[in-house]
Amino acid sequence: MWKILGIETIYIDIPNTVKSRLIELAGDGEKEVRFRDLLEMSKVMFLLNGETEESSFFITVPDDLCPEDIQLMADVILDIAKTAEFPFVEVKGTEQRYQVIITNNKEPELIGLNKTPGMSSVELFKPIIKAWDSRGRPNSSFFD
């Protein structure tokens, strides 16, 4: 069974558990109130690297957040991780390696119902293929 910040959870519910526990454990200061507001606006995603067994928590923030707000979020999460009486991630009683990534980068969807316009697999590689055939600066290693 997975334990995230001291709460047992199932794999598919880990992002919701992380978000709710971070909000719950944040504290009561002015900085922590702002953190709660920012985290409520953000989306949390969980990925597990099966090879290294490292857990990654991606917190995707809105595009209009300033760097100071992102730093505030990182500071509060770090405070929680340092002061918690339990591991951030635990599986079957063993503490796991983890990382928290705060980002606003949105990957284009290449397939599926919500694919990003112009980002089908062919469209994505067209500039690369065109560059192979285009004129430009010659490769100096061919002219010795």
Give the pLDDT band (50/70/90) at residue 7: very high
| Tens digit of each residue's pLDDT (9 = 90 or more) over 114-126 | 776 666 666 667 7
Q: Structure pTM?
A: 0.71
CATH number, span 2-106: 3.30.300
Residue 122 confidence (pLDDT): 67
Give the pLDDT band (50/70/90) at residue 128: confident
CA nearest neighbour of 25 among 74, 81, 96: 81
The predicted model gives 94-118 an average pLDDT of 79
Give the pLDDT band (50/70/90) at residue 127: confident
Residue extents of the structural domains in the chain: 2-106
Residue 99 makes CB contacts below 8 A (sequence gap 6+) with 54, 55, 56, 57
Q: Which residue has the tokens 């339990």?
A: 86
